[in-house]
Structure 1
Amino acid sequence: MNDVTGLLVVILVSMMGRTGGAGANNGYCIGNQCFGMIQDPSDFTTAQDQCKDKGGHLMTVRSSVSHDILSILLGNFTGRFWIGLHLKTACPDAAAGLKGFQWVTEDSESDFFNWAPSFDSSCSSPRCVSVSKESDFKWTQEPCGEQAAGFLCEYGLIQPCKNLEVAQDESVTYMTPMGFKVEDVLSLPMGTIATRMPSETKYLCFSEKWLKAPWNCEIQEGGCEHKCAMDPNEVPSCYCPPGQIVSPENKVTCEEATDDPCLALRCDHACYRSDGSYACVCDHGYKLAQDGRSCVDFNDCTDERQCPGENFKCKNTIGGFQCVCEDGYVKSGSLCVDDNECLSAPCEHECHNTPGSYNCSCFEGYKVDPKSPNKCKRHCGKEECAAECDPNDASQCYCPDGYVAEEREDHTVCIEIDECISNYCDQQCTNTFGSYVCSCSPGYTLVNQYNCVKNEDHTDGSQDSTTAPDFPTTSYIPGPTRQPSGVSVGAFVGIILCTVFLIVLVVFLAHHILSRRGKMESSGALKAQEGEAHGLHRVATDA
C-alpha cells in the first residue's frame, strides 16, 4: 500500500464513520455543512456520542436558516428530538439569550433564540434541550437522562465535492457517509458515493474530486456490486459470483455470462482474467493458499505500519483490519484527537477534560458523591452554614446529611447534629461535621461500623500486641440513618418508667389487701361485742 492510497483509506474511513450506530433517516447539505436526523430513542449523552461517531456533533441552531433546516428535517416526524444545547452551570441565567446554556461546541454564540414560554429558571430545572413538531420546534428543557425519539446531528464538510453534471436523460443519487441519501444538492461531503442512472456507474468523493469505481477495495468494496479484489498489479477490480461477469460498461455490476471459464477453477473467492488466461485471487485481507484456489485470513495487524499515527491502534477483523483510536480518543480527519467528554455534560457541576478521560468537581458548598463520582452532594464542613433554599420559594430549604435546618429572622441556617448524644456507638464516639466515628477500647474489634466485640484471646481486657493493634479500632459512619441494635436513651428511660409503675402498682395492691383484711377483723370483733350486749350465751345442758 503506497502512501497516497493509505492516506485516502484513512481519511475516507474516518469521514464515513465507525462501524455500527444508527444511520440518518433524513438529511440536508448546504455550504460547508450537513445536517442529519436520526430517529433512534436515546438519552442526550448517547445521542451526542452517536453524532461524534460519524464525525459531527448534536445540531446547533444559531440562525433562522438552521432553524428552517431543522423544521424541514422534522416536518414529517413526531416526538422529541435532542439538539446540541445544554446547561453546564449550576443555575440558569434568565436574563441571558441562551439562559446560561451552552452549545456542545462549548460556546454561547447565537443570533437566534426560540425558548418555550414554559422556561424553568430554577436551579433544579432540566439541563438539556429538545424540539418537536408538536411544540412548534420551540426549545424545551428536558432531563438529560430521558429517552427522546431521536436527535439531530451537524457535520462540517472538509474538501467537499460539487454535484456531478448529468445529461437530460440521466439522474444521480448521493449516499452520504452519515447515512442519508440526497439528490438535489450543490455540495457533498467527502466519502459520499454517487450513482449515475441508468448506467449504474459509481463515483466516490475524495478531496474535491470524484473517483470512478472500482476504487480502493477497503472503501465500500471498491463500489463493486459483489466483491472487490486487488489483481496481481495491485489494481482494484470487481468480480462476480460463478456464472456471472462484470458489466463492461460500468465495471462494477454483475450480469449473466454465456460461457464462464472460471467455473472449472473452483476459486474460493474470485477469478481473475489476464492475457487470455484465468487464475484465482482472494478478497482483501486474505491470501491465496498453496493450492492456488483456497483463501486464508491474513492478520494485517502484525504489520505495525498498517495504522500509523499517534493514538491509533490496529484492530484485526476477519478478512481485514480496522484502524481505530485508543480509548478516550476520537477520529478527526486523519488524526485521533482527545475526546472531550465534557461536551456531553457527564458531570453534575464542573467537568475537567484530561487526555483520554475527564474529572468531575463540585461548586463551593458541595463535594463529590462517593457513590456516584459524576454527581455532587451538599457539604458544610463546619458547625453552621447557610441552607440551600429554592429561589422561588424561600420556605423550601435543604441541608446536608447530618445537619438540621433552623430558621432565623431573615434566613435559614444548617446546624450540625451531634450524633454521639444518641449513643449510636457501643463504646467510644467521636462527632464529625455531618457524621460521627465509632471506636473501641483495646482488646475489642469494631464490627458492623458501631458494635465492639471482645477479642477471643482477651479475657481481662488487657492488650495483646500479637493479636490486636496498639490503638483503638475506628470506623467512619456516613450519617445517623441507621442505629445500632443496643438500647437507646429513650428506650432506657421507658424501661425505668415501666419499672417504677410496676412497683407503685404492687405497693397499691398490697395496701389494698392489707386494708381489706383489717376491715374484716374489725367487723368480727364488732359482731362479738354485739352478741355480748344482747346477753346471748351458749348454754350447755346435761344429758
Structure 2
Amino acid sequence: MTPSTPALLVCALVLCGLEDQVRSQRGLCAGNQCFAFFKEPEDFPGAQKSCKDSGGQMYTLSPEHVHDIVNVSGIYWVELSSAEQPEEEALHSCPSISVSGGKITLQREPCLHTRNGFLCQYTFEQPCSRVQTRPGEQVTYTTPMDFKVDDSETFPPGTIAVTVKVGGTYAELRQVCVSKGWMKAPWSCEVLGGGCDHNCNAETKTCVCPPGKVLHRNNISCTEDPCEENPCTGEGEECENTREGFQCTCRDNFIKEDGACVDNSICQMCEHMICVKLDGVYQCRCTKGFKVADNPTKCEMICQGKDCPAKCNVNGTCYCPYGYITDVRDGNGSPTVCTDINECDMGQCEHKCENLFGSYRCSCNKGFELHRDGNTCVSIVEVEEDGSGSTPRPYPTTAGAHPAAVPSYIKTGSVLGITVFMALCAALLFLLGRNALKHCGSFQLSSFKHPDINIFYLQQVTSETYKRLSLDKQLKSES
C-alpha cells in the first residue's frame, strides 16, 4: 500500500522552508487531518509515545513518494505501513527520513538511537474554517496538540485563534473552535481558563486581574492601571478606566459643563425638584404659589391674605410661612390655619408702623427719615452753607417692607405661654400690694405726734356741743 499524493504534499509543506520555525513545533492541517513536525531529540519508542500522548500517531510515509522537495537538515522518525516494512527488520531498525541539501532519503536506523525529531499525524471531525479578519489584522492558530498552524484552511476542535493588529501588543479577539464554529473569549472557566490571560471568575464567567492592573478592553488581557497616579486633578473629577486607557469624569453630584465639573448636589434635594443655575451656582426653585424657605432646599406656601391653610405632616405637626403662626379656630377637627402676625402690636417701629401680610413696614414723622436698620427714625439736620457745601443727611435709606419679626416656628402654644406668664406676674404684684396695705393699716406715725396736738376720733356730735368746743378752743388761744 502506498500513500496518496496529498499525503506526500502535506509532508513536504510541513518540512519545506521551516528550518528556523520547527523548533516551535509547527504543522499543517488539511481536510480532517493535521501533520506536525517536532524537532525534539528522541529515540523511536520515545517518538511514538510523544505522538500518542498528544492524541496522534507517528506519520506513515511511503518511500516511493519521497523526493527532493524539502531542505531541513536532520534525521527524523516516521512510520511505514506494515506491508512495506520487513518483519525481520522491524525488530531491530526503524524507518526515518534523512534531510540534507534539499534531498529526502528514506532509511532505517537502530530504533534505540536518538534522532533529531519526529513527525506526527492527527485525525479529527467537525473542523473550523479560517477566522475572518479586517485590514491590518493577523491571526495565529494554536491547536490543542500544542503546535501552531498558520497556512491551513481547516482547524481541529479546540484550536485557539488569536487576532491582533499588526504591531499591536494586546489581542483584539481570542476564539476557540467548537463544533465547526468559533466561540469568543471569555467562555466557561472550566475550559482552558475561559481564555483569560490571568484568571477567570467562575461565577460571573469574566476575566479578572491582579491588584494594580485592570482589564483590557478586549476583556481577556490585563494592563497597568492608568488611574494609579490619579491624572485627573480638576475639582469634582475622578479617573475612570476605559478601553482606550482612561478618561476624567465627574464624581457623583457633579455634572460636566463647559469642560468643567460643576457641583449640583443641591438639585437632588430640591423639594419641588426644580433646579436652576444662576451666576454659576445651582439653586432650588418652587412651583407657583410657593417660595423658597429659610432652608434653601424647601418650599413654603405664599399667603396672600390674613389667613391661609397650614402645611401639616403625617405626625400632625403644622408649619406656617414666615410671618404667620398656626391657629386652631375650634376643636371640631377643623384644619389648622396660618394667621398673620401683627408686628405693629409688638412695637417694631419707632414712629409709624404698617402691618402687611407676613411682614410690616416702618415710616417716620415729618422731619425724620428711616434709619438703615429699617425700624428707627433719625432727624434730618440741615447745615447752613459755609462755603464747603452742606452735610448730607444721616443714614439716607428708603422705607421698605420688613420680614415678620416673629419667626415662622413660633406656634400658638408660644403665645399662650407668654400670656400665662404675664397673668402670673400680675397676680403676684396684686398679692404683694395687698400684703403691704395690711402692714400700713397698723403703722403708727409716732414721730409726727405733738404733745399739744389732740387727736379726736370722729363721732356724731350735736350743734351745741360743736359750739362749746369751738369756744373753748378760742379762749385757750387768747389766753
Q: Under TM normalisation by the shorter chain, which class is it?
A: 0.3 to 0.5
TM-score (norm 1): 0.34
TM-score normalised to structure 2 length: 0.38
Between Structure 1 and Structure 2, whose CA radius of gyration is higher?
A: 2
